Amino acid sequence: MSIILGHRGASGYAPENTLEAFRLAMDMGADGFELDVHLSRDGELIVMHDETVDRTTDGSGQIQSFTLKELKRLDASNGMPQYKGAKIPTLGELYDLIRDTRHLVNVEIKTDQIVYPGIAEKVLKLEQEKGMEGRILYSSFNHYTLQELRQIKPDVKYGILYSDGLFEPWKYAKSIGAAYIHPHWRTLLYPGMIEGSLAAGIGINPWTVNDEGIMELCIRHGIGVITNYPDKALAIRDTK
């Protein structure tokens, strides 16, 4: 059965990467969510998409130039007035929120532009401290970061993020110990892509699947759906 994950939470309806968006995804019935992490100046794991706070908050500057206390003063409602006062969460706060649930989390480590020192070690330590083992799937566009995870925890589960037409991606995924591929949804349409990956035992979690036709395709093949609109994907899954 397809696993349906809210991309940055239910970000089609609530400010992306806030606890409000994650709560809404859970209320809708999503199996979990995808989120993005960076490090603050004082080494905290910060849930946000961009490297800077400019687009989604009322502040400006790089996340890595703020302390957690400074980041907490910002409004992360991202132009949605009904969510005014929403805060930037830490990864630990999200884990506290979902501790007693069964939701899955795809933690995307945002080291494609800034290589945050020690971030691989920190996410794994937090997963253990918060009792989240077995519920976290890591991903990154920076596959060196994924190897760092594996060096620290050989049985860690991760997916390779990529955007373009990687040929027979399951072969590459296997070669670097990835259990999943996390491709841009467009690549699902390349010949043999879905079948080849599944036959090789490599799971597929495409992003960002907001088109209902592509949701249908994913659900028909039993592959993951990372979407801003988990309610739409759930409605399609319910009809199957």
Which residues are known catalytic residues? Answer: 7, 49
Closest CB 149 distance from Mg ion, rounded Å:
16
| 47 binds ligand G3P, rule: CB under 6 A | no
- Shortest CA distance to 59 belongs to which of 46, 118, 191, 147? 46
Nearest CA among 58, 68, 43, 56 for reference residue 16: 56
Counting contacts by CB under 5 A, is residue 36 touching Mg ion? yes
Nearer to ligand G3P, 70 or 210 (CB): 210
Tell me how far, at minimum, the Cβ of 34 lies from ligand G3P, in Å.
Answer: 5
36 or 231: whose CB is closer to Mg ion?
36
Contact string 122-151 vs ligand G3P (x = CB under 6 A): -----------------x------------
49 scored as a contact of ligand G3P (CB under 6 A): yes
Question: Which residue type sits at 8?
Answer: R
Residues 70-99: x/- map of binding to ligand G3P (CB under 6 A)?
Answer: ------------------------------
Find all residues with CB under 8 Å of 178, minimum gap 6, and list them. 146, 158, 159, 160, 202
Quote the CA–CA distance of 224 and 106 in Å, as a whole number: 11
Question: 47-51 long-range CB contacts below 8 Å, 24 or more apart?
Answer: 47/17, 47/88, 47/89, 47/90, 47/91, 47/94, 48/17, 48/76, 48/88, 49/8, 49/16, 49/17, 49/110, 51/110, 51/113, 51/114
Question: Applying CB under 6 A, does 207 fall inside the site for ligand G3P?
Answer: yes
Q: Is 108 in the site for Mg ion (CB under 5 A)?
A: yes
Residues that bind ligand G3P (CB under 6 A): 7, 34, 36, 49, 108, 139, 161, 182, 207-208, 226
